[in-house]
Amino acid sequence: GTLVLVLLFLFSIVFISAAANYINEASEKSVHVESLREHFNSLPMSMLTLFLSFLGEAEFKEVILVLLEVDLVYCLFFLFFVVFVTLAVMNIIAGIFITEAMDMASQDREIRQRG
């Protein structure tokens, strides 16, 4: 839980900085400015966008296309974030199941030794 929050926080700061730099340099007529403001205008909004992205609920394609417009590096950074956090969460869940299975096996072994 804490690891995911720290990652969301750190990556959000990176994307807010990138969005702010792009918005400052772009013309107001740029179609991507509005989308960047929608997804990365504040820390809570940026964290929500990233959280929904790794859950698969955000407009994933739109976020990628906007970040591609900003810079390919940020798009790759976003994809790395989604893959890394997804694998981290899966690892945590697998660890919980494995620990529970090992505890059950240990209890089963103790019962057989008594009986």
**Least confident interval from 27-31, 59-63, 93-97:** 27-31
Q: Is 57 exposed, middle or buried (0-12, 13-18, 19+ CB in 10 A)?
A: exposed
In this structure, are residues 53 and 80 in contact, taking their beta carbons and an 8 Å threshold? no
In this structure, are residues 62 and 36 in contact, taking their beta carbons and an 8 Å threshold? no
Domain residue limits, the chain:
2-82
Task: Supply the pLDDT for residue 95.
Answer: 92
**Least confident interval from 8-17, 66-75, 101-110:** 101-110
- For the stretch 1-59, pLDDT in tens is 788 899 999 999 999 999 999 989 887 777 888 889 999 999 999 999 999 998 888 77
Nearest CA-CA partner of 14 in 65, 78, 61 = 78
